[in-house]
Structure 1
Amino acid sequence: MLTSANYKPPKIITLENGLRIISEEIPGALSCTLSIWINVGSIDEEVSNNGVSHFIEHIIFKGTKTRTALEIAEQSENVGANLNAFTDREHTCYHTRILSEHVLVALELFLDMLFNSRMQDNDFDLEKQVILEEIKMYEDTPEDLVQDLLYEVVWKGHPLGKPITGTIESITNLKKKSVFNFLSDLYTPDNMIISLAGKYDLAAIIQKTEKLTSNINNKNKKKDAPPLIITPDIFIKDKDIEQTHLSFATKGVSVYDEERYTLAVIDIAMGGGMSSRLFQEVREKRGLAYVISSYYHTNKLGGLFGVYAGTTAKESSHVIELILKELNAVKKDGLKPDELERAKMQLKTSLFLELESTMVRASRNALYDLYYKRFLTPDEINSSVQLITNERIIKLANVIFNSKYYTLTAVGPRNEMPKKFSLG
């Protein structure tokens, strides 16, 4: 197992323009994960430009001042690379896994895309249509829709509550000038991290990055997000489908909270596997759902703990009652000794097995730097998990499992659901 005895912390190289390179060379690796993280997401958007972060992630692949979209695809695939990207609420990431001898090719392509996007009118309009179809797809996928509605309700009026893809209205009305302004304000070297894990020539990476970005010195204009306040409510979306999809949520913790691993243990014990309480009580004993699972979301401002379930409309209220019953049981007695140890072992195993992935290591290193400005060692993580006690479980449960935070969204046939849901 990886321990602090054989763990070497990543190196950080900061260029003159503020761009940071995080390097974790892994002995024996044949490939490299190259990821470029921009400290921007839907948290940085307003109602009028909601979805712009995700739109930029798409349009950047449509060509630069020196390369067409086809040339980007051909040049990356010539060396076996699949360039990819994703946008979340706080970050945007461009990434690929590639053989070590071709890392510089992918690096040059990414930097060209990030700093030299041409955004032609035809591409701009076509990509808007693509994203509008993506939004419609999510709206036709009830398990995705119910979750987007949950964020919108529980964080009403806050940027974190906005859908990452944007809305039909915001994307339809998105202007090229608005996109360029957002790009120039936030896609700046001092708002970026290049994070690598695997095998590569670090000196060559630094040299190539300096060559391609040394003349780019603009500073980011990132604004602080407003405080995050939970707005508990119940929202039901009437939809003519067979199942009713439920998403229940309550207060969670932020990425800075010392109890974030405690919440992870609660999550595993409540709905993280086949032995979890909700899986046993709702599915195995009563057959009320095919899928029921818990989840937690952490960010720099706060977080959520929640439960998703798909059930029949007439049993939806019963499922909510069972969820609340289990939350109250944890508040009162916490977890049984075997439950606690099993959940801790599951958490520890998942955290350490993930380290065999260069993508996970590159991502963790970038996020550690973005959030903590330091790297958490394997021993530190292991110690944090081992120190979780039932007393801490009960204490945290009594803070977050409170009806003043309870929020529910449901998607399904409204006329078959109970007239009223009770979350008290």
Structure 2
Amino acid sequence: MFQKVYLENGIPVVFEENNSFRSAVLGIWVKTGSRHETEEKSGISHFIEHLLFKGTGTRSAEDIAVEADAMGSDLNAFTSRENTTFYIKVLDEFFEKGSGLLCDIFANSIFDPNEIEKEKRVVDEEIRLSEDTPDDHVFDLFNSCIWGDNGLSRPILGSAKTVGGITRGNILEYLEKSYNSNNIVIAIAGNIDTESCVRLLNAGLSGVSTFKNGIKPEKPFFNSAVKVHQKDLSEVHICMGFESIPNNSPERYALHILNTLFGSGVSSRLFQEIREKRGLVYSIYSFLSSYQDTGCMGIYAGASVQNYQKVIDLIMKESCSLKDTISERELQRTKKQLKGNMLLALESTTARMNNIAKQEIYYGRNFTPEEVITEIEQVGLEDVRALLDRIFRRDKVAVTLLGPAADEFSL
């Protein structure tokens, strides 16, 4: 059962109560991420995510870790380009204790200067690890290529230089601008009691600022650029993409169908044509990166030096021919796949929490699984073709290569 209430300080709380689960998940979502940062303070959202686990007025970092493990909980956080999320998943019997721990971390962290300096070294290692993982690093390079001089173009982790320059004063200033009741959404899913949750949250988050502020990012322009980053690797990592639609676009259902059909799953066009029929890659897939005001539909593949040009040619061929070759039968099969993927994902309380939080942030309302399925069913072949016509344009493709590739290649 879905409900939405507001805390005394104005923070919206969305609930999905389901007593068939033994677990419950509480997530605190802050509507700020790497796209809201300045270039000089790139990585500060992710850095704050780390620091909130480093001690409060009543708990040390070790106390937090021991208490979380003693409940068998999953206490964690993640940062994206538009949101920073802190969550705890526990057995229902530990929900009161777990929510108290998460609220203390969120509202009462002290940001000890010694912990700040120590965590800079930890994040520096995380940055190095990401840069040494080419099938991860190529996405940062690709975003830098397509979004130009905009927050969306910068890596979520920041750089060693920008993170190293962040001060405690910078952190407190950023918190004041972004961590306030006007910029927070709380989501809870699982075996919970709504009234008890509201009581716990009102007590635990009463100190959160009600100062109505925030950082409004500019809408970026999509750059159809081609970039080659030379590196001595065993493969060439390919990231290609086209400008797409915002998260809340009415065409989002057609876009998800298109992405599923084109490159999501082992029956998709890309997987079948390039891996299964020709054996040119091990990994290939398409993906969606959708934001409040724009989006990108992309393709990733890793190929040998001998084969990467063939793979690029085949991706372009499939992109350009899809409009004329997609069939009604393929469309109906893809709809079944998409519906099945969605419903199976909702077997997890964490997925349910993430789902209702994102819906509140991007749509301002909850869409039930039944409503989503109805919208998927209403998408016709012409809707997908119309979207294909606008997105898959040879003159608007962006390409980033990482590895031992030639400086020039054909599209």
1:219 equivalent in structure 2: 211
Does the Cα contact within 8 Å between 2:88 and 2:99 map onto a contact in 1? no
| Residue 179 in structure 1 maps to residue 174 in structure 2 | no
Cα deviation, 1:153-209, whole Å, max 9, x if unaligned, reads 101111111110111221121222111111122112332222111112322221122
| Residue 62 in structure 1 maps to residue 34 in structure 2 | no
Map 1:19-418 to 2 at 5 A: 19-331=11-323, 333-414=324-405, 417=406
Please give the secondary structure, in 1, of the residue aligned with 2:372: helix
Give the distance between the partners of 2:260 and 2:21, measured in 1 at CA. Answer: 32
2:410 equivalent in structure 1: 422
Please give the secondary structure, in 2, of the residue aligned with 1:274: coil
Give the distance between the partners of 2:142 and 2:154, measured in 1 at CA. Answer: 10
Give the distance between the partners of 2:234 and 2:26, measured in 1 at CA. Answer: 43
Please give the secondary structure, in 1, of the residue aligned with 2:238: strand
Please give the secondary structure, in 2, of the residue aligned with 1:370: helix
Please give the secondary structure, in 2, of the residue aligned with 1:165: coil
How far off its partner does 1:403 sit? Answer: 2.9
1:4 equivalent in structure 2: none
Give the distance between the partners of 2:208 and 2:320, measured in 1 at CA. Answer: 55
Give the distance between the partners of 1:67 and 1:131, measured in 2 at CA. Answer: 22
Please give the secondary structure, in 2, of the residue aligned with 1:83: strand
Name the % identity: 34
Does the Cα contact within 8 Å between 1:40 and 1:92 map onto a contact in 2? yes
**Two-structure CA RMSD over aligned residues (Å):** 1.4
Give the gaps of 5 or more residues in structure 1: 1-7
Pick closer, same or farther for the CA change 1:217–1:139 going to 2, 3 Å: closer
How far off its partner does 1:317 sit? Answer: 1.6
Give the distance between the partners of 1:180 and 1:154, measured in 2 at CA. Answer: 31
- The residue type paired with residue 367 of structure 2 is L
Aligned residues: 411
Cα deviation, 1:258-283, whole Å, max 9, x if unaligned, reads 11121111112111122221112211
- The residue type paired with residue 273 of structure 1 is G
Please give the secondary structure, in 2, of the residue aligned with 1:112: helix
Does the Cα contact within 8 Å between 1:334 and 1:390 map onto a contact in 2? no
Please give the secondary structure, in 2, of the residue aligned with 1:114: helix
How far off its partner does 1:335 sit? Answer: 1.1
Does the Cα contact within 8 Å between 1:354 and 1:360 map onto a contact in 2? yes
Please give the secondary structure, in 1, of the residue aligned with 2:74: coil
Pick closer, same or farther for the CA change 1:87–1:246 going to 2, 3 Å: same
Q: Provide the TM-score with structure 2 as the length reference.
A: 0.96
Pick closer, same or farther for the CA change 1:216–1:318 going to 2, 3 Å: closer
Please give the secondary structure, in 2, of the residue aligned with 1:313: coil
Pick closer, same or farther for the CA change 1:79–1:285 going to 2, 3 Å: closer
Does the Cα contact within 8 Å between 1:335 and 1:393 map onto a contact in 2? no
| Residue 15 in structure 1 maps to residue 3 in structure 2 | no
- The residue type paired with residue 57 of structure 1 is E
